[in-house]
Structure 1
Amino acid sequence: MPTSPLQIPDFRLYWLARFFAVLATMGMVVIIGYQVYDTARADYGMSIREASLMLGLLGAVQFVPLALLTPVAGWTADRFERRTVARCANAVDMLVALTLGLVTYADILTLPLLFTLAALHGVARVFVGPSMSAIAPNIVPPELLPKAIALSSIAWQSASVAGPALGGFLYAVGAPLPYWAATGLMGCAILLLTPVRRIMPPPMTGHPHPIRQMIEGLSYVRRRRFLLGAITLDLFAVLLGGATAMLPVFARDILHVGTEGLGLMRGAPAIGAALVAGIFAFRPLHNNVGIKMLWSVAAFGALTVAFGLSSNFLLSLFILALLGAADMLSVYVRSSLVQLHTPDMMRGRVSAVSGLAISASNELGELQSGLAAALLGPVGAVVAGGAAAIGIAGAWSYLFPELRRAKTFDPPPEVLAQAVEQEKPA
Structure 2
Amino acid sequence: MFRIDEQSMIRVAPFGMDLVLSIYYLAAPLLLIELKANPVELGLIGSITAAVHMMLAHRMGPLSDRLGRRRIILLSPALLIASCLLAAITGRVGVILLISGLNGFCLSLFWPAFQAWVADLQTESTNLARNIGTLNMAWTASHLIGPILSGFLFALHPRLPFLSAAGLSSILFLLSYGSIHDLSGGAKGKEPVGEPTWSPWEKKFLYAAWIANFMSWFILGNARYQFPKLARELGISPQIVGLLIGCLGLSLFLGFFVLRRSDLWHFRRRYLFGAQALGAAGLLTISLFSSPLLFALALTLIGLSASVTYYSSLLYAIRLSSQKGRGTGFHESILSLGALIGPILGGLGAHFSGLRMPYLVCFLFLLAAVGSETALLRRKDAD
Find out whether 1:247 has 2:243 as its counterpart: no
Distance in 2 between the 1:159 and 1:234 partners? 20
In the alignment, which of 232, 254, 258 is matched to residue 279 of structure 1? 258
Q: Which residue does the alignment assign to 1:375? A: 352
Q: CA deviation at 1:226?
A: 4.3
How far apart are the structure 1 equivalents of 2:336 and 2:328? 12
Give the letter aligned to residue 303 of structure 1. Answer: G
The equivalent of 1:129 in structure 2 is 111
Deviates more, 1:144-153 or 1:29-38: 29-38
**Structure 1's 180 and 71: CA in aligned 2 closer, same or farther, altered over 3 A?**
same
Q: Which runs of 5+ in 2 are unaligned?
A: 187-202
- Per the alignment, residue 139 of structure 1 pairs with 121
CA–CA separation in structure 2 for the residues paired with 1:247 and 1:176? 21
**Residue deviations 1:214-248, cap 9 Å, x none?**
xxxxxxxxxx5443332233214542674332112
For residues 318 and 40 of structure 2, the distance between their equivalents in structure 1, rounded to whole angstroms, comes to 36
5 Å matches for 1:83-122?
83-103=70-90, 109-122=91-104
* 1:190–1:406 CA distance, 2 compared to 1 (3 A): farther
Work out which of the residue numbers 286, 289, 293 in structure 2 matches 1:314.
293
- Check the 8 A contact 1:27/1:166 in 2, yes or no: yes
Q: In structure 1, what is the equivalent of residue 363 of structure 2?
A: 386
Deviates more, 1:60-69 or 1:20-29: 60-69
**In structure 2, what residue type is equivalent to 1:357?**
I
Aligned to 1:28: 24
Q: Does the aligned pair in 2 maintain the 1:243–1:304 contact within 8 Å?
A: no
In 2: Cα distance, 1:197 partner to 1:70 partner: 20
Letter in 2 for 1:334: S
Q: Structure 1 stretch 180-189 or stretch 224-233: which is displaced more?
A: 224-233
Q: What CA distance in whole angstroms lies between the structure 1 residues aligned with 2:119 and 2:54?
A: 25
- Bigger shift: residues 369-378 or 151-160: 369-378
For the residue of structure 1 that corresponds to 2:44, the secondary structure is helix
Q: What is the DSSP-based 3-state SS (H/G/I as helix, E as strand, rest coil) of the residue aligned with 2:226?
A: helix
2:317 maps to 1:338: yes
Q: Residues 240 and 385 of structure 1 are in contact (CA less than 8 Å); yes or no, is this contact kept in structure 2?
A: yes
Query: Per-residue CA shift, 1:37-91, capped at 9, x if unaligned?
Result: 33125xxxxxxxxx11222233333233234323431232211221221111121
Match of 2:158, SS state, is coil
Distance, in Å, in 1 between the alignment partners of 2:46 and 2:314 is 23
**Which residue identity does 1:26 align to in structure 2?**
S
1: distance between equivalents of 2:328 and 2:230?
A: 33
Shift of 1:300: 1.1
SS of 2:262's equivalent in the other structure is coil
Mapped to 2, the partners of 1:311 and 1:287 lie a distance apart of: 34
| 1:187 paired residue number | 170
Equivalent-residue separation in structure 2 for 1:161 and 1:134 (angstroms): 25
Counterpart-to-counterpart distance in 1, 2:371 and 2:84: 41
For the residue of structure 1 that corresponds to 2:35, the secondary structure is helix
Deviation at 1:318, TM superposition (A): 2.1
TM-score in terms of structure 2 length: 0.86
Equivalent position SS for 1:284: coil
**What's the secondary structure of 2:119's corresponding residue?**
helix
Unaligned ranges ≥5, structure 1? 1-7, 42-50, 104-108, 204-223, 408-426
Contact residue 295 and residue 393 of structure 1 kept, 8 A: no
- Counterparts of residues 207-222 of structure 1 (less than 5 Å): none
Q: Paired residue for 1:209?
A: none
Q: Which residue of 1 aligns with 2:340?
A: 363
1:56 maps to a residue whose letter is G
Q: Could you tell me whether the CA contact under 8 Å between 2:22 and 2:143 is conserved in 1?
A: yes
User: Is the aligned partner of 1:227 residue 2:214?
Assistant: no
Q: Residue 135 of structure 1: CA displacement?
A: 1.2
**Alpha-carbon distance between aligned partners in 1 of 2:142 and 2:113, rounded to the nearest angstrom:** 19
| Structure 1: distance between partners of 2:381 and 2:59 | 33
Aligned residues: 362
Q: For 1:237 and 1:114, how far apart are their aligned partners in 2?
A: 25
Q: Is the 8 A contact 1:82 1:132 kept in 2?
A: yes
Instruction: Evaluate the alpha carbon distance shift between residue 22 and residue 201 of structure 1 in structure 2; reply closer, same or farther with a 3 A threshold.
Output: farther
Q: Is the 8 A contact 1:146 1:284 kept in 2?
A: no
- Equivalent residue, structure 2, for 1:207: none
C-alpha distance in structure 1 between counterparts of 2:219 and 2:17, whole Å: 27
RMSD of Structure 2 on Structure 1 (CA): 2.5
Q: For the residues of structure 2 that align with 1:405 and 1:155, how far apart are their CA atoms?
A: 36
CA distance in 2, matches of 1:10, 1:119: 30
Length-normalised TM-score, structure 1: 0.78
1:65 to 52, 70, 77: 52
Matches within 5 A, 1:66-81: 66-81=53-68
Rg larger in 1 or in 2? Answer: 1
- CA distance, structure 1, for counterparts of residue 183 and residue 106 of structure 2: 21
The alpha-carbon deviation at position 141 of structure 1 amounts to: 4.2
Where 2:293 maps in the other structure, the secondary structure is: helix
- 1:311 deviates by 0.7
In 1, Cα distance between equivalents of 2:294 and 2:71: 44
CA distance, structure 1, for counterparts of residue 100 and residue 381 of structure 2: 40
Q: Which residue of 2 aligns with 1:153?
A: 136
